[in-house]
Structure 1
Amino acid sequence: MNFAKAERISLKLHPELNERWVQELIASDPNILGLGALVLRDKERTQPRAGRLDLLLQHAETKRRYEVEVQLGPTDETHIIRTIEYWDIERKRYPQYEHCAVLVAEDITSRFLNVVSLFNGAIPLIALQMQALKVGDHTTLVFTKVMDEMSRGLVDEDEDAEATPADRSYWEKQGTKVTVQLADQLLSMVREIDASLELKYNKFYIGLWRSGQPFNFVIFRPKKKHIRVEIRLPRTEEVDAKVEQSGIEVLDYDETYQSYRLSVVADDLVKHRDLLMELLRAAYQGRM
């Protein structure tokens, strides 16, 4: 096998390759960014009183959108500001989607990485360092994720002695014994997946407990006439369709905790048991 040494080149100083060339490459195959199965929604997207967004990408299955700003050479203050500004405009214009800002540059210095990291957590932000490499007569781009968005934990997954505990009687007073008993039936279902799971009563929800630690891939909130079941799963059109067609009442999808919030009554545990088990199993496997 022949070895060919790659030569790193500067796109900013290159006489022919420019930012438009980079944009066209990403637009033709967004997967080269390494952010998953993305499709192009728009490029050079006009922003009200704020210039043009380089690329708007969207995950092929979910409603997650990526606002991508490309800069040749090192990143600077204006690049960071543009990236965040365009992200903010798009999320306000289209709140039905999740949005993530993506900053792409040939050189992301430690100084600016520190600055950008200050926004992370408050703003979903990804920084990609782009390298242009010449191998023989060919040029390729390599994207390296130097900062990922801060992942949100499960609901109270860091719960410990500081959590506000409750007990079964507390929830029976808040709702009814009947809806609290639905939590027992749901526990029996999740125990078919993992026999070690137990209910953990807290003042704001009933979670799951495994080996002395929270394991909240699903949580329960008993109400007067139903129990609210919050199943942590990425939103997809397939799951949306299955839940809607089943007849289970869907309250909404919680984007913050990536959870389907369902209003469940006793009949649902019989009529729609197979679907509920499928969702619970997928959420459990996603946690593993």
Structure 2
Amino acid sequence: MTKGYVKPERLLMRTHPEYSEKWVQQLIADDPSILGLGDLVLRDQERIHPRAGRLDLLLQDADTKRRYEVELQLGSTDEAHIIRTIEYWDIERKRYPQYDHCAVIVAEDITSRFLNVISLFNGTIPLIAIQMQALCIGEHVTLVFTTVMDEMSRGLVDEDEDAEAAPTDRAYWEKRATKATVSLADELLGTVRGFDPSLELKYNKFYIGLSRDGQPYNFVTFRPKKSNLNLDVKLPETEELDAKIEEAGIETLEYNKRWGNYRLRLTKELVKNRAELLRELMQLAYERRSA
């Protein structure tokens, strides 16, 4: 046996007296990243759907505002599990059409038969199938999530300002990102206060926005990450602005055409060394917002 290697023992949670579906649900709720679907935030847990039961988890991408309707099942997938997953997805997309929605099935065993059935829907219904395994290593138990069927590539949907304004506080963002990257929002706030001293940071669950006289005033929004800060600036896309941003060496994410946002990825060095350009962009956005 290789030195340091410990062979894991698989646990079947469906028949285990301690590790229940509620246990798995709470683990994902506490840290949605374990699913391997990206930087997701918990939107709701056991969301009630009249006449349709409870949706186990509603997750949302912190950047694109894509929503994932997640249904959990211990043991093997079955017909009822698939129907519930699609039904919850359908209810949510009709209730909140401003978002892009994706159904997610999570089960201990996704059989080849049901994988074939699920794949039939994938051309018209965005579906992801994830198989989870509980492994015992010594005195510890871990969960491994493996995507066995991914969805077809689709477009992204960004924020809806009113629906996204779920209040939180600075401590939430410092834990979710870091104190250093949250402080970059402070520096940029100082910049915009140069042309409007009444502006304040407004901490929401999916972004840090701006407020004026207690009301949202979002011509820019901030999304701190672990090592950088994403700055969204509400400006129409032009060749002139594209050239200025590229010349400044600022990394951009894809321009959000639906919401009219430039999306810039900033480091501390860029905030300091490209302060003049950032001020110009934010002031242009402010003037458009104030017009």
Query: Could you say which TM-score interval applies, normalised by the shorter chain?
Result: 0.5 to 0.7
Q: Identify the match of residue 122 of structure 1 among 118, 121, 124.
A: 124
- The 1:269/1:61 distance shift into structure 2, 3 A limit, reads closer
Q: Identify the match of residue 274 of structure 1 among 237, 240, 244.
A: 244
How far apart are 1:48 and its partner, in Å?
Answer: 2.3
Amino acid at match of 1:26: I
Q: Matched residues in 2 for 1:20 and 1:124: separation?
A: 25
- The 1:60/1:48 distance shift into structure 2, 3 A limit, reads same
Q: Matched residues in 2 for 1:279 and 1:96: separation?
A: 30
2:87 is the counterpart of 1:85: yes
Tell me, yes or no, if the aligned pair for 1:37 and 1:60 is still in contact at 8 Å: yes
- 1:243-254 correspondence runs (5 A): 244=234, 246=235, 248=236
Which residue of the partner structure matches residue 73 of structure 2? 71
- The 1:240/1:82 distance shift into structure 2, 3 A limit, reads farther
- Computed over aligned residues only, the root mean square deviation of the Cα atoms, in angstroms, reads 2.7
Q: Matched residues in 2 for 1:240 and 1:93: separation?
A: 29
Q: Identify the match of residue 21 of structure 1 among 14, 18, 23.
A: 23
- 1:1-288 correspondence runs (5 A): 1-152=3-154, 241-242=232-233, 244=234, 246=235, 248=236, 268-270=238-240, 273-275=243-245, 283=254
- The 1:109/1:274 distance shift into structure 2, 3 A limit, reads same
How far apart are 1:275 and its partner, in Å?
Answer: 4.8
Determine helix, strand or coil for the equivalent of 1:53. strand
How far apart are 1:144 and its partner, in Å?
Answer: 0.6
Q: Report which of the two structures shows the higher radius of gyration computed on alpha carbons.
A: 1
- The 1:271/1:104 distance shift into structure 2, 3 A limit, reads closer
- The 1:147/1:279 distance shift into structure 2, 3 A limit, reads farther
What are structure 1's unaligned runs of at least 5 residues?
A: 154-235, 249-261, 263-267
- The 1:2/1:241 distance shift into structure 2, 3 A limit, reads closer
Tell me, yes or no, if the aligned pair for 1:38 and 1:57 is still in contact at 8 Å: yes
Q: Matched residues in 2 for 1:129 and 1:104: separation?
A: 6
- The 1:270/1:145 distance shift into structure 2, 3 A limit, reads closer
- The 1:3/1:271 distance shift into structure 2, 3 A limit, reads closer
How far apart are 1:61 and its partner, in Å?
Answer: 1.4
Task: Output one character per residue of 1:5-52: Cα deviation in whole Å (capped at 9) or x when no partner.
Answer: 100010001011110011011111111101111111111000122100
Q: Matched residues in 2 for 1:133 and 1:280: separation?
A: 40
- The 1:271/1:6 distance shift into structure 2, 3 A limit, reads closer
- The 1:136/1:47 distance shift into structure 2, 3 A limit, reads same
How far apart are 1:112 and its partner, in Å?
Answer: 0.2
Tell me, yes or no, if the aligned pair for 1:61 and 1:237 is still in contact at 8 Å: no
- The 1:90/1:276 distance shift into structure 2, 3 A limit, reads farther
Amino acid at match of 1:72: L
Tell me the number of residue pairs that the alignment of Structure 1 and Structure 2 aligns: 181
- The 1:24/1:282 distance shift into structure 2, 3 A limit, reads closer
Counting aligned pairs with the same residue, the percent is 66
How far apart are 1:147 and its partner, in Å?
Answer: 0.2
Q: Matched residues in 1 for 2:94 and 2:222: separation?
A: 22
How far apart are 1:269 and its partner, in Å?
Answer: 3.9
Amino acid at match of 2:22: R
How far apart are 1:121 and its partner, in Å?
Answer: 1.8
Tell me, yes or no, if the aligned pair for 1:127 and 1:148 is still in contact at 8 Å: yes
- The 1:46/1:147 distance shift into structure 2, 3 A limit, reads same
Determine helix, strand or coil for the equivalent of 1:118. helix
Q: Matched residues in 2 for 1:5 and 1:151: separation?
A: 37
Determine helix, strand or coil for the equivalent of 2:101. strand
Amino acid at match of 1:120: N
- The 1:2/1:87 distance shift into structure 2, 3 A limit, reads same
How far apart are 1:150 and its partner, in Å?
Answer: 1.3
Q: Matched residues in 2 for 1:60 and 1:18: separation?
A: 28
- The 1:276/1:134 distance shift into structure 2, 3 A limit, reads same
Determine helix, strand or coil for the equivalent of 1:72. strand
Per the normalisation by structure 2, the TM-score is 0.57
Q: Matched residues in 2 for 1:105 and 1:53: separation?
A: 15
- The 1:269/1:49 distance shift into structure 2, 3 A limit, reads same
Determine helix, strand or coil for the equivalent of 1:91. helix
Q: Matched residues in 1 for 2:222 and 2:117: separation?
A: 36
